[in-house]
Structure 1
Amino acid sequence: MSVIEDFKSYSKWLMRLLALIQSIMPGEWPTSCLIQDGDTFDFIVVGGGSAGAIVASRLSEVHHWKVLLIEAGGDPPLASVVPSLFGYLPNTEYDWKYKTYFHEGIGEAHNDRMQTLPRGKMLGGCSSMNFMAYVRGKPEDYDRWGRVAPGWSWRKSLQYFKKLEDFRDPEVMNNPNNARLHSRDGPVTVTRPKVNSFFQDVFDVVLGAFQEIGLKRILEINGPELGGVTSPHFNHDCGRRISTAEAYLKHSKNRRNLCIAKYTKAIKIIIDERTKTARGVKVILKSNETLNVFAKKEVIVSAGSFNSPKLLMLSGIGPKEELKKLNIKVIADLPVGKNLMDHIVANIILQGKKGVHYKTQMKYALKEINAFPNPTITGYFNVHNETLSQPQFQFFTMYVAANASLVPIVCKLALNYNDELCDSVQEANLHRELHLVLVIMLHPLSKGRVTLKSKNHFDDPVIDQGVLTVEDDIDLLADAAKYVARLENTSYFKRVNGRVANIKVAGCKGLKFKSDEYWKCYVKNTVSTFMHSVGSCSMGPDRVVDEKLKVHGINCLRVVDASVMPGTPSANTNVPTMMIGEQAADQIKAHYS
């Protein structure tokens, strides 16, 4: 049996074991309420993810409002709760299992030019299965939003970042320049776990190397500096992931005015075509029974950057040319599904010293199972214009000791790279440690779109990320790869005879290694998205929703999730999505006060 098959078998066994343990533990999540055809609520929230869970919880603080939260999945499993086990969740029942395909000539090192797009299908959504990095972005991100959608400036957004966070890093909070940007009053715990001596040595080596190529060491990634390198903060505490299910729904579960319908999928928004008013939602239960539920005040769609546009289009809200092709009656002609954006990633691999075996790393990693069992650092940099008001690139590093059995698993299963590339990575790792640098383009020009495969709600949406379809993105990403490759000339890597690994990449044979042509070929064919999709229902006067997140031309209907972002933030998107949920809840409360 191969390593891949062993891992798949072990993963299934582990998930069954964790499910069994969870089944005999006292219930900690909200119970699922029973809904019946014709039930009426004040608000219906579709999707209990990073934003939807917050909106439902905050609205239910008004005790005379009845709130229904519709969630297609169930409770987060223990593999979600325990921070280090998140890698076991993709391609399980807790994942929507979506895919995207790169355009011809792009992503050729991926099998079938395909990348999987894990999306959380459980309470907490993607906040229950993501990397847990707590990153907010930079002021200019939100000031740009505010220029197309008044009310979303940095000054306003910071108010809601502070409302949601419980920032528990004393080093940061004791520094006045940083403490003013944070709060201890919110429900979302933010920590920076202490690491063992082995991981600390790796930290110091990598931090030192980045400092040598010109990056300043900074106190935190969410501080006032535009660029620099540091260790990240995470959404976990006391051995638990702090998802929106944990931070909000768990603490709202005893509210009698909050009904959470699990394993319930929204398939259509009920709209009065005469008055252009959303009246409710058609849903399908786990039993396959279909029923209608109604909202006196509003329907709030928080199903994410793929499922929110899908639901709107199935309901007759979208580009008329697309809807007419599928014989869907057009209620509102809006650019739903367009303007899809994502962060773009090139993985740069450096070989380090010989001799540190993977078993040594695993010995320490098992002690960190309640945190994040890999020494990682993060930061921002620009490659061309140091005076830019937004960073061009973010990065995370990962460390893999020599001869790691994990390499083919991550390479083939998680990233879907072909055998040629994965075998060459494994060969590079055979006797030497690897330092992986995930180089993340934050504001690519390339855009994609979400469309419908058919009018059947069982069909997945068609997701075209449009990755590297603009030539300037290829050039800039190649320049970033060259910038990071300079790490091989720093003191540590020179001392241990380290180097950039010469990985075999489809389409790059015959090119001089590390030449300009090579790096363009490398990034073009090994590229991935960072699964930070936004913008498919973006806000703006000529887009899908207004600055209050109300759908243009439709009464009593809002979209509240990452799909409304008019541009990519300089950050992992989970925390900005939480911020959107907090601000939207206040907007709704103010409207009905």
Structure 2
Amino acid sequence: MAKGKGLGGTSILNAMIYIKGNKRDYDTWEKLGNTGWGWDTVKEHFKNLENMQAEGVSDEYGRGGYMTLNRYPSDQPIASAIIEAFKEMRLPLLNEENPANPLGVLTGFQCIKDGIRFNTGRAFLGQVKSRSNLMTALHSFVQKVNINRKSKSATGVQVNVRGTIINVKAKKEVIVSGGTVNSPQLLMLSGIGPKNHLEKVNVDPIKDLPVGEHLEDHTLHAGFFVKVNPEIQLIDNQLDTIYKYFAHQEGKLGTLMITNIMASAFPSVMGLKNEILANINDAIEKKSVLGITSTVLNPKSQGKILLKTSNANDKPLIYSGYLSDQNGEDMAIMLESLRFLENLIETSSLKKYDPQIMQLNLPECDKFEFRSDDYWKCSIRYLTTTIFHPTGTCKMGPSDDGTAVVDLELRVFGIDNLRVADASIMPNINKTDKTPRDTARTRRRKRNVRESKENTFGKSVSRVMTKGGTAKKRILVQKSPPDSTTEAIKKAVVEAAGKEQASDIVRAWTEGRGDAKGMKSAMIDVDEDAVEKVEKVYEKDTSGLYILSNGGSKGKDTQM
């Protein structure tokens, strides 16, 4: 299983594709009891993180966020032919995602900036790394969450830093973001998980929860290869292409471009044996080969994560459960997709390339007639692997859901001051790539943490009510945002606070009300849903934004 062991997590090594997914998937989460996780809420978090650079894209995408998005359409004739072939199969050509009706052909967006991968570490931490209240620790391996057994609350984490074990105490909360494999491993090592399993591996149970269950993943069949003529040269001049990229970060190497398969590029864990890869490469040497993969986006099969031992250095046991659903629906869908591909290459748009499906060297499948149902089913079992989108092992759900580990605010059931925030909390896997989901989930978590301060920290946030009964929060803005003009400040807060209050705030900043150091302040009452809009003004330097407790400005609840 691939792991992104660095700032930015798996976004430092993924395919850089940005797809938000199907509206229905998110709405299903909400119908399962996870209030606030429906599409209408989540889409705003997507927009807040996006910085769309591609032309001709609607306002459904954000423009001022940290995550730079671009689009790099292929200029290869075969790519255009494939698009035309899909159109012949009655699939519409989409300019961008349509979450309400996502069926169609799309040249996707990518997390690339100036020809360089734009991972979440670069996008978000790069903006705030100088904050005094932020510390990152590299080469540090968290071994467990320290939990007070009497109070059932997280008190910190035990960390191995270059061979030295230290205990880091948490003043408020511990938030686990280890991913679908490591988050359940860490919880189980800490005593949170299936009681019987923990006892078998000599971990003293603290809270019996279904941690590690409900593993879901997108699977990919990597066995449909087509020989094509005439020869297709994907890189017209390799030296020119390499020069363009290293000199100017431009050209085809500055995009996501997969041109061939080499045996050395595939680790053995993917299940593609060397003789199969050699067979493919032999064909590539003689002809151009087009590889088309099929994916089950809504799998019914489930697996689980278990501890191998109580030693944090031992890798956990991963039971993927691929193609294991009782009714065989995943196999049937994969087979149907291969039949679709057979019809696709028979379209007039691709016929001119004289496509021929390759019969790979699969000894266990040779006894079946090539391209029969039995042959393809054998190929599917032989060549189906992960796309590295595992989810669900710390499932989110209401308190009466016996399969859930965290509530809708991502708090671990029965353990105070502990949350999980990554793909492991997904109630069901959705039909998209992980990076946008995880990044939007981070923003959603940030809001959850802020809105649940009263329960989490034992403090109350000052609230006022309008005549209409709308709940508001009182915020002290203690200085204007850095590098911002008065007009920019006013424009930024007017939507959240209203024109009259925005004018008052600007006046407070510019006309006085300052302390001996020249620090100026102003009060602002805004709708709870508008807090993020005000906070966004301070994203570069949040030292001037405070949520007040009932005690007034001296009783700061927390610095945002």
What TM-score do the two structures reach when normalised by structure 2? 0.75
- Residues 413 and 322 (structure 1), Cα distance of their counterparts in 2 relative to 1, 3 Å cut: closer
Structure number with greater Rg is 2
Match of 2:207 in 1: 332
| Structure 2 counterparts to residues 152-301 of structure 1, below 5 A | 152-173=37-58, 179=59, 181-193=60-72, 195=74, 199-221=75-97, 224-286=100-162, 288-301=163-176
| Aligned equivalents of 2:193, 2:136: Cα separation in 1 | 28
Match of 2:554 in 1: none
Q: How far off is 1:359 after superposition?
A: 6.3
**Correspondent of 2:220 among 345, 359, 362:** 345
| 1:123 and 2:7 correspond | yes
- The answer (yes or no) to whether the contact 1:506–1:525 under 8 Å persists in 2 is no
Q: Secondary structure at the residue paired with 1:293?
A: strand
Identify the residue that residue 441 of structure 1 maps to in structure 2: 296
1:376 and 1:492 mapped to 2: Cα distance? 25
Structure 2 residues not aligned, in runs of 5+: 454-460, 462-560
Inter-partner Cα distance in structure 1 for 2:126 and 2:35: 33
> What does 1:51-66 correspond to in 2, within 5 Å?
none
> Is 1:271–1:278's contact at 8 Å kept on the other side of the alignment?
yes
TM-score by length of 1: 0.71
Q: Are 1:498 and 2:355 matched, yes or no?
A: yes
Match of 1:57 in 2: none
8 Å Cα contact 2:143/2:186 also seen in 1? yes
Match of 2:336 among 479, 491, 498: 479
Counterpart of 2:320?
465
Structure 2: how far apart are the matches of 1:131 and 1:361? 24
Aligned amino acid, residue 39 of structure 2 = W
Structure 1 Cα separation of the partners of residues 153 and 251 of structure 2: 46
User: Equivalent residue of 1:261, what SS?
Assistant: coil
CA 1:411–1:293: 2 relative to 1, 3 Å? closer
What amino acid is aligned across from residue 252 of structure 1 in structure 2?
V
Give the corresponding residue for 1:309: 184
Within 5 Å, which residues of 2 pair with 1:76-87? none
CA distance in 1, matches of 2:358, 2:250: 29
- Kindly indicate whether the alpha-carbon contact (under 8 Å) linking 2:423 and 2:438 is maintained by their aligned counterparts in 1: yes
> AA paired with 1:212?
E
- In 2, the alpha carbon distance for the partners of 1:303 and 1:164 equals 21
Which letter does structure 2 place at the counterpart of 1:483?
F
Cα–Cα, structure 1 residues 411 and 488, in superposed 2: closer, same or farther, change >3 Å?
A: farther
Contact kept in structure 2, 1:215 and 1:229, CA below 8 Å: yes
Give, in whole Å, the separation in 2 of the partners of 1:375 and 1:450: 37
Per the alignment, do residues 221 and 410 of structure 1 end up closer, same or farther by CA in structure 2, a change over 3 Å counting?
farther
Give CA deviations for 1:491-511 in whole Å, capped at 9, x if unaligned: 243223212222222411121
- How far the C-alpha of 1:297 sits from its partner, in A, is 1.2
Determine what percentage of the aligned residue pairs are the same residue: 32
From 346, 350, 355, the equivalent of 2:231 is 355
Give the 4+ runs in structure 1 shifted more than 6 A. 374-377
Alignment correspondent of 1:533: 390
Structure 1, gaps ≥5 residues long: 1-116, 174-178, 378-397
Q: Deviations over 1:386-441 (max 9, x none)?
A: xxxxxxxxxxxx764xxx6x433335668441233223212332322122112111
Q: Label 1:226 to 1:293 Cα distance change in 2 as closer, same or farther (>3 A).
A: same
Task: Return the alpha-carbon distance in structure 1 between the equivalents of residues 266 and 186 of structure 2.
Answer: 33
Higher relative contact order (CA 8 A, sep 6+): 1
**1:384-463 → structure 2 map (5 Å cutoff):** 400=259, 406-410=261-265, 415-463=270-318
CA distance in 2 between counterparts of 1:204 and 1:538 reads: 41
Q: CA deviation at 1:358?
A: 6.6
**How far 1:335 sits from its partner (Å)?**
0.4
Equivalent position amino acid for 1:153 in 2: G
* Distance apart, 1:363 and its partner CA: 5.1
Residue 89 of structure 1 corresponds to which residue in structure 2?
none
| Contact kept? 1:268, 1:281, Cα under 8 Å | yes
Write out per-residue CA displacement over residues 338-363 of structure 1, whole angstroms, 9 at most, x where no aligned residue.
00110011122122114345764745
**Partners of 2:271 and 2:385 within 8 A in 1:** no
What amino acid is the match of 2:299? P
The CA deviation string for residues 543-563 of structure 1, in whole angstroms up to 9 with x for no partner, is 100000000010110000010
What SS class does the counterpart of residue 205 from structure 1 fall into? helix
Q: For residues 365 and 301 of structure 1, what CA distance do their matches in structure 2 show? A: 42
SS of 2:182 mapped into structure 1 = helix
RMSD over aligned Cα, in angstroms? 2.2
**Corresponding residue for 1:546?**
407
- The CA deviation at 1:526 is 0.7
1:142 to 18, 21, 26: 26
Partner Cα separation in structure 2 for residue 361 and residue 520 of structure 1: 40
**Partners in 2 of 1:118 and 1:207 — Cα distance?**
31
Q: 1:222 to 1:363 in 2, by over 3 A?
A: farther
Separation (CA, whole Å) in 1 of partners of 2:85 and 2:215: 35
Alpha carbons of structure 1 residues 445 and 220: separation in structure 2 relative to 1, 3 Å: same
Other-structure match for 1:567: 428
CA contact (8 A) 1:412 1:419 kept: no
Aligned to 1:579: 440
SS of the residue corresponding to residue 170 of structure 1 reads coil
How far the C-alpha of 1:277 sits from its partner, in A, is: 0.7
- 1:590 matched residue in structure 2: 451
